[in-house]
Amino acid sequence: MDRFKLRKAEPQDVPDILRLIKELAKYEEMEDQVILTEKDLLEDGFGDHPFYHCVVAEVPSEQQNSNNNGSVVIGFAMYYFTYDPWIGKLLYLEDFFVMKEYRGFGIGSEILKLLSLVSNTAVKTRCSSMHFIVAEGNQASIEFYKRRGAADLSLEEGWRLFKIDKSSLLKMSSGPEE
């Protein structure tokens, strides 16, 4: 597998990005949780003020599903910039996935390398760190990341990730101010 290419995602990649998001969610046994649509992805990633950035990995297409330039998208990474008021700008890796049949060829490593370059060298976005989450049952991914020097903050420092979903958000936002 020596002919893969990494590039910045474009609006026409949105259907492939959603396909891969769903494949990753399926891998995490959470496929029914994906409610995002192609329209959301287009508006949120390619408007004036994008909520996320994306890189895609593509290979020349042998048969089906090729895009305009005879390639098929087989991997992606979705990321955005966050802020830690203790250390400054960070790159947050939201999704990172390579289709099963294309693993083991170094594509994932190249994507991570590209993201590290983005975070480390881009003048405007010089980041101190890259953060992401991994499910504790996903041993293969945890080993992949630990080999590359990632630290498990939940284990090492005791951080627990919390969420509030929309219905609780609505309740909270209309709560009385005391």
Partner 1 sequence: MFNRWEDLCNVISLRPLLPAVGLPTPVLPTWCLILYFLDIFHNMDFSIRPATLEDCKDIARMLLELAEYEKVLDQIKVTQKDLEQDGFIKNPFFHGIVAEVPEEHRSKEGHTKVGYALYFYSYSSWKGRAVYMEDLYVMPEFRGKGIGKALMSKVAQLGLAAGCSLLNFSVLDWNKPSLDFYLSQGCSDITADMGYHCMRCEGDELEKLAQGGT
Show contacts with partner 1 in window 54-73 (CB under 8 A).
none
161 near partner 1, judged by CB under 8 A: yes
**Which range binds partner 1 by CB under 8 A, 7-15, 45-53, 55-63, 64-72?**
45-53
Q: Give the up-direction half-sphere exposure of residue 10: CA atoms within 13 A in the CB hemisphere.
A: 7
Query: Active-site residues: which are they?
Result: 145
Residue 113 found at the interface with partner 1 (CB under 8 A): yes
Binds partner 1 (CB under 8 A): choice among 40, 70, 100, 143? 40
Burial 111-149 (b: 16+ CB within 10 A, else e): bbebbeebbeeeeeeebeebebebeeeeeebeebbeeee
Query: What minimum distance in Å lies between the beta carbon of 63 and partner 1?
Result: 28
DSSP 103: T
Binding test (CB under 8 A) with partner 1, winner from 4, 58, 92, 99: 92
Task: Candidates 1-9, 57-65, 67-75, 140-148: pick the segment binding partner 1 (CB under 8 A).
Answer: 140-148
Nearest-approach distance from CB 12 to partner 1, in angstroms: 18
49 is an interface residue for partner 1 by CB under 8 A: yes
DSSP secondary-structure letter at 34? -
Rounded Cα–Cα distance for residues 110 and 32 (Å): 30
| Residue 103 burial (C-beta neighbours within 10 Å; 0-12, 13-18, 19+) | middle
